[in-house]
Structure 1
Amino acid sequence: MEKYKDENKKLSDTLERFKFELNDRDQEQLLTDVEISCIPEHKAENVTQLVMLICEKLNVKIEEQDIVSIQRMGPLRGYIEGEGAVQPRPLAVRLAHRTLSDRLLQSARVRRGADTTVFGLPGSPKKFYINERLTRINRQLFFKARQMGSKSGWKYVWTRDGRIYARRDQNTEARRIRCEIDLVKFLANRWLAKLGAFAFLLFF
């Protein structure tokens, strides 16, 4: 009986390792991508022109040929004629080089609060945000990490190179978050951490 338990444990560990490796590999393929959110969406929009305007606003020099692809992510969530999408979908932008995406992300951090003024879009100016593009698994994990970090008093939760990190304050070391077990291990309140992953499923 113990032999079967050991074999099942080894198999489970192997599958979990494979899952991590596959997700890491998928994330590596997104290192030249950025995600731009809160840009108003309209049927006749020119997304290439929008991205060029965003780069100009952030003082990032880019040529049109540096843009590999641009697409709105996810299904359209309602549309009002003359006003645009009720909830604009994020723009997924793939650039030709990693240096370009890094430069754009860095400039967006420095110029927090940039908006769509002078973009020629209908309506009042809107603030927009640029972040690393994450895999579906990492996106969900990052969302949960921010939620739990906020509830547990962790001041910093961020991504770098597609990896998720958290730090309680400036005097503590950063922890990498790779799975939901790490959320319980590092971010949950102490009493909840003692209950383990089952408590995570119950309370989050």
Structure 2
Amino acid sequence: MKTALLALLGDQEIVKTLREVFGVDQKEKELQTLKEEVAAQKLIIEQQEERLHDLEQYSRRNCLNFTGVPENPDENTLQLAVDLAKMANVSLHRTDLDRAHRIGAPKPAAPGQPRPPPRPLVVKFISYQKREAVWFGRRDLRKAIPPRGSSLPEGSGGKIFVQENLTRRNQELMFEARQLKRAGKLWAVWSDGCVPKAKKTQQAPTVRLRSKADLRQFE
């Protein structure tokens, strides 16, 4: 019986008849249509996610993160931002700022330490031009003496780092890119206008990094 059944299935006319009886061809067409619709919907979702990410990053373009800024319980974060700008050779007034605050909840000091490490300070500027001026003066800030009357102690500038306010996705992308740089696979990694970028060698063209897939060419 098995041999007879196999013989029947080997007959193309019988197979064609069975496919017509059970509507196999129609179901295959419907399945292919569904696959195409799912792929189209997936593409739309990915495009929407990309737009949302770009909007989130754009909303952060007027912000800068300052790490290593000494923290005090009664500090005035807006005045701190003004003082930091002055150390970067930028004249800034409180009216040039939207807000300034520490990131995250306060943490207890580690065992053997007199105080916990300072939380990052995020500053949002009213003007992108002012933000850019401070960004380009960040190296001067590290060598500068705090202005008279500032709550910042002398010598604190050398411990302060300024970073662009990147989305979590771009932060993770920058972290992986820096790992490749440490491994000697990239010459430079940086962000410019909140856009992660990299160069394989000093003479190589600059590559804009939009996703982790862009890093595969350097692995």
* TM-score interval for Structure 1 and Structure 2 normalised by the shorter chain: 0.7 to 0.9
- 2:96 counterpart of 1:66: yes
Quote the sequence identity (%): 24
Q: Which residue of 1 aligns with 2:105?
A: 75
Deviations 1:13-45, CA, capped at 9 Å, x for gaps: 221111111111111111111111111222122
Q: Is the 8 A contact 2:84 2:141 kept in 1?
A: no
SS at match of 1:113: helix
Deviations 1:178-200, CA, capped at 9 Å, x for gaps: 1222222x332xxxxxxxxxxxx
Q: Which residue of 1 aligns with 2:60?
A: 30
Q: Is the 8 A contact 1:70 1:94 kept in 2?
A: yes
Q: Which residue of 2 aligns with 1:6?
A: 36
The amino acid that maps onto 2:218 is: L
RMSD after superposition: 2.4
- Structure 2 unpaired stretches of 5+: 1-30
- 2:204 counterpart of 1:175: no
Q: Which residue of 1 aligns with 2:164?
A: 132
The amino acid that maps onto 1:158 is: W
Matches within 5 A, 1:1-204: 1-79=31-109, 83-84=114-115, 86-109=116-139, 111=140, 113-114=142-143, 119-121=150-152, 125=156, 126-184=158-216, 186-188=217-219
User: How many Å separate the matches in 1 of 2:104 and 2:144?
Assistant: 23
CA gap of 1:149–1:9, structure 2 versus 1, over 3 A, is farther
Deviations 1:136-172, CA, capped at 9 Å, x for gaps: 2222222222123332520111111111111111211
Quote the offset at 1:124 in angstroms: 6.4
TM-score normalised by the chain length of structure 1 = 0.79
Please tell me whether Structure 1 or Structure 2 has the larger radius of gyration of its CA atoms: 2
User: How many Å separate the matches in 2 of 1:55 and 1:7?
Assistant: 53
Q: Is the 8 A contact 1:27 1:135 kept in 2?
A: yes
TM-score normalised by the chain length of structure 2 = 0.74
CA gap of 1:4–1:99, structure 2 versus 1, over 3 A, is same
User: How many Å separate the matches in 1 of 2:159 and 2:145?
Assistant: 6
Quote the offset at 1:105 in angstroms: 0.3
Q: Is the 8 A contact 1:152 1:187 kept in 2?
A: no
User: How many Å separate the matches in 2 of 1:38 and 1:177?
Assistant: 27
Q: Is the 8 A contact 1:114 1:127 kept in 2?
A: no
The amino acid that maps onto 1:27 is: Q
Higher helix share: 2
